[in-house]
Amino acid sequence: MADLQEKYQKLAGEYAKLKAQIPVLKKAYLDEQGEVNQLKDTLKERNQTVRKYEQEVDSLTFRNQQLSKRVVFLQEELDASEVNNKKKNKNKGSEPTTPDRGGAAHNGGLNVFNEELQSKIEENALLHKQLQEVSTQFDIHVRQLQAQLKAAEDSKGQHEEVIHAAQQRAKEHIDRLQEEKAMLEVKVQTLESELKEFRGRCEKAEQDLNQVEKNLQSRLDVATKTIQEKLPFIDTTPFRITVIPWRDQSRCSDSKAGVSSVIFWWQYQSVEYGSLPTTKGVVTSVIFWWRSR
């Protein structure tokens, strides 16, 4: 019973420890879950930023295509202008003044187109450079967020495993404690029934003992009464000597002295002759001799 009680207390202590660990693990799990949710929100925001950048890239691509078409168109116009200039240079003799004016105007238009083309090319190169930088930064940031998300998910999985294992151990301990509690309750009931039976037997034995005491007391009273009535000559009072006549006392003293003398003589004779009869026989002979006087 003591071993079971000690084991029960030990299991109860382990259960209390596990129960105390559960809130800590639960708090850590909730913290990790909050971090994971925060990372998910951050990833969602980054995805929105990515979509925004993708839209900007699409817009820049469209503008780049438009600029490319514009450049092709200007290049075609430039080629056509050069061909026309070559043709006009061959026919310079008849009208020298008009071609010069037309060529100057055409050259001015070509300069404007060239400047515009150069500006668009530089703008396109700048946009390509910015787009490449943004794409590189975005890829780096996405990889960092993915690494953080993976680490958070791994940590979350570990915490979930720890919590699951702790809950499983706590459940096993609870089941074991419940089984032992049931066994202890059965044993307690058995001991209570045995204790009740022992109490009944003790009460019965006490009643029997009281009955025996009463019976013995009544028999003692009867015996005492009988002794007092039938044997009045027996004096059991201490420090009281029976009264004997002086003559009988003198005879007893003489008899005692004679018996002592005979015993001494007989022992001496036994040692002397090597035949020692029993002292009881000698005493019996002496008593018989004394009575015959």
Output the pLDDT for position 276: 43
Percent of the chain with pLDDT over 90: 0
Mean pLDDT of 202-211: 88
Output the pLDDT for position 75: 76
10: pLDDT strictly greater than 50: yes
Mean pLDDT of 228-242: 56
What is the pTM assigned to this prediction? 0.34
Output the pLDDT for position 285: 53
102-109 long-range contacts (CB < 8 A, ≥24 apart) are 106/81, 109/81
Judge contact between 85 and 103, C-beta under 8 A.
Answer: yes
82: pLDDT strictly greater than 70: yes
203: pLDDT strictly greater than 60: yes
Give the tokens for residue 258: 């004679």
Output the pLDDT for position 279: 46
Average pLDDT, the chain: 73
The upper half-sphere exposure of residue 159, i.e. CA atoms within 13 Å in the direction of its Cβ, equals: 20
Highest average pLDDT, of 18-27, 104-113, 278-287, comes from 18-27
Judge contact between 159 and 32, C-beta under 8 A.
Answer: yes
**Better-predicted residue by pLDDT, 213 or 91:** 213
